[in-house]
Structure 1
Amino acid sequence: MQGPSGAGGTVTPEGVALDLEHATVGSRGIAYLLDLLAMGSLLLLFGLAESIFGVSGFVPGWLGLALLLLFVFAVLFGYPIGFETFWRGRTPGKAALGLRVVTTEGAPVGFRHATVRAVVGLVELLPTMGVPAMVSSLLNGRGQRLGDLAAGTVVLRVRRGSRAPVAHAFAPPAGLEDYTARLDVSALGSADYATVRETLLRLGDLAPGARREVTEVVADALLGRVAPPPPAGVPAEVWLVCVAAAVQRRRPATTAGPAADPTPPAPSGREHGRSGAASGPTATPDDSASIPPPAARTGDVEVPDDGFRPPQ
């Protein structure tokens, strides 16, 4: 399968390129300094408290030193690991700069990822003034430091001021309204619909060859559980739009929702190797790319010689 363009992009296991902005060295450096300032403040407060109690005689000297070493360890490791694990990849410094740590597949980080980043970071950041981390970030297409490479993570810039997500409405393609109304999709579950929906919403990120191949794979997986079969000559992409529209008609409260906009998007002008037009999924301003309307009229499309072939 032909991969999506973009050398430094984040690609899901399904081969879909995500439009995510990687954090720069400058923003990551400022976020780390803010976290370092917070950790230093905690250590300073603990040191002052220990001095007060030590001078007063409440805490023996050996116990105070042991508590200080334990607290330093807890701050250096507990601060980044705890925040990144329980705050979905953010620390106070990263949150202030609008940054978040995720896996290279775009999933939330866990305890293991955060621990590896913290352990490697203790070596590449503090003792060396962050020089190895800066060099690694500048040479890496995703801006990953050594800790990110070891943990399989990447730091992203979270978009701010974006509008709330809106449900997507899939309208039946032109000329296939009657066929869509007769579709029996009762055998499809929520996971099947989610696969169809995400596939259609991410088609604009794929090259034409990969776009056709992805839709054919998904359509072949669902063909035996949807009746009646598609008319001869209908491309896989168009048939998936019919399936999505039929599922939304059957379960409007859980798939389309009251916020869905039934207005089809305008053509994006991007060439996909097919002629004709039809109503496609509605894109929101938060989507990385609008989904160009697929060809729908069977007389206007060019059926490939291989791949998805509806029953004759």
Structure 2
Amino acid sequence: MEYLDFELPIKELEEQLTKCNIIGEESDVDVTSTCKQIEQKLEETKKSIYKNLTPWQRVQLSRHPNRPYTLDYIKALCGDTFLELFGDRNVKDDKAMIGGLGKIGDQSYMFIGQQKGFNTKTRQFRNFGMANPEGYRKALRLMKMAEKFNVPIVTLIDTPGAYPGLEAEERGQGEAIARNIYEMFRVQVPIIAIIIGEGASGGALGIGVGDRVFMLENTWYSVISPESCSSILWRSWEYKEQAAESLKLTSYDMKKNKLVDDIIPEPVGGAHSDRETTFATVKEYIEKSYETLKKMPVDKMIDERMEKYFEMGEYKE
């Protein structure tokens, strides 16, 4: 188990609890009372820490190396029914953007999302979750396929941004993302978008237009990362915590500003601390959302989808 800097008090108490249990098992000393006291203090410490997280600490949790990624969610939700689909039918298959058909219960869904790696080799293979233009064009191809067969779409967003490399720009990175945003407004099947980790810039928006947009509790959604914002405004990454506060990028900020529809609660300690509960909660949100959306006439659903985004950013002088 890896711990973030603000989680060190939890680490110390868990180590104490482990030692206490070992002493009880290896000797005749009754340590039941002591272990219970440590457990109680551990729970109180966890609640105290995770109820008062700063925006920067939530950013750190969203990047936790043990946090579940897109394929983890798909495997948990669909089991063996998931069939991955490849390629944009133009350039190549982008490994940072994955998609395919899967079932939750008896209902089929088209799943699309960014996939990060869990070690050095897989991170390089997945390009750290940063998709090239062909990734967004693959996503659009799968959305059009879902529309053709009347299959609802679920997008799982977790990216530090679209890949900013020279070749990506030469192949039309900006156009690919803009095209996706434009086309997603008109897709004639329900779209449910969920930010499961990092939701950065156009890389997230490229698959982020939806009838229902949710954020897991300890995720962030912003036009720029705190580090990049800090380097632009202060010429240094040292002010990333201040930048995170100013950007209003947490799920609570997004819900308050009506940029997302709801917040999906995470277990105490983050999604990685209790994966099964997280997967079950996400599944519940998907199923409830689809039950509502499938009853709506297509024209009304598209009109409401457009109106939701048209209302964003309105102000009065």
Highest RCO, 1 vs 2 (Cα 8 Å, sep ≥ 6)? 1
Please classify the TM superposition score into its range, dividing by the shorter chain length.
under 0.3
Structure with the greater alpha carbon radius of gyration = 1
Higher strand share: 2
- TM-score normalised by the chain length of structure 1: 0.23
Higher helix share: 2
- TM-score normalised by the chain length of structure 2: 0.23
